[in-house]
Amino acid sequence: MRDFRDAKAMAKTLRLALGARQHDISHSEALEIVARQLGAANWNILSAQLSEDEPDKDLISFQQAVPIVRIFEVAKAHEFYLGFLGFSVDWEHRYGENFPLYTQISRGGLRLHLSEHAGDATPGGNMVVYMSGIRSFQKELSGKNYRYMKPGLRDEGTRLEVEVIDPFSNHLRFMELKT
């Protein structure tokens, strides 16, 4: 999920989305709208908050990795990721009509990029997602009427796992370490 550190990207996305619908606004207007959406009175106040939170540029620090997952059909991807796994769409991008989709989805702090672009990722990928609440997650998934999969909960000794495979052969292994 996006927060105030993504304000400039959010403003750009807003401006492009409105422009595509023939509602043109300036970049500064988009920044002001985003600032208000994030609870700041105006862009200047939010911008000051952004400056305060900038890390030391010499300190090596990594942020969350966002895997790119190759998809071939938007409807099937939405059925699986949104309907079955419970993700929400954060944003979508296409270079024009009848172009491949590139989108970000998220749930509970996990972000994934789904892409129809041929060079972005290889179908059949495998990812591990560490999480908490895996028993509830597995129960939620098994309670859904998703015709292609009814994942179980596996005890692997030091961890619990729920593995799902999307319609494009990408494997997602959700893991919770035992304490």
Averaged confidence pLDDT in the chain:
89
| Domain 68-177 top-level CATH class | alpha beta
Q: Is 133 left (phi over 0), alpha (psi -120 to 50) or beta?
A: left
pLDDT value at 163 more than 80: yes
Of 32-46, 92-106, 131-145, the least confident: 32-46
Burial of 88 (0-12, 13-18, 19+ CB in 10 A): exposed
Residue 85: other Cβ atoms inside 10 A: 20
Q: Check residue 35 and give its pLDDT.
A: 81
H/E segment holding residue 19? helix 7-20
User: For the chain, what are the domain ranges?
Assistant: 4-52, 68-177
